Amino acid sequence: MREILTEHLRRQPFVPFEVILSSGDRYVVSHPENAALTRGRMFVTDPATEKVVECFLLHIASVEVKENQEV
């Protein structure tokens, strides 16, 4: 999963994507600077609220590209 997330964060041009957790929670990464990836976690920030969410990579079930949608 780490490799997939790295690819999405480095994509040029960047395309927003959504991280879906095993709990069903969803977090949108609207810009690469709104996420940080470590060895076992991903931190996602909502720039509107400045809320930061910690996602363990083990709990990330899927990643969905938001190419033709508003985020």
Please count the other Cβ atoms lying within 10 Å of the Cβ belonging to residue 33.
Answer: 11
| Per-residue buried b or exposed e for 35-60, using 16+ beta carbons within 10 Å of the residue's own CB | bebeeeebebbeeeeeeeeebebeeb
Domains of the chain and any CATH numbers: 2-65 (2.30.30.100)
What are the pLDDT tens digits along the chain (71 aa)? 999 999 999 999 999 999 999 999 999 999 999 999 999 999 999 999 999 999 999 999 999 998 665 54
* SS3 state at 23: coil
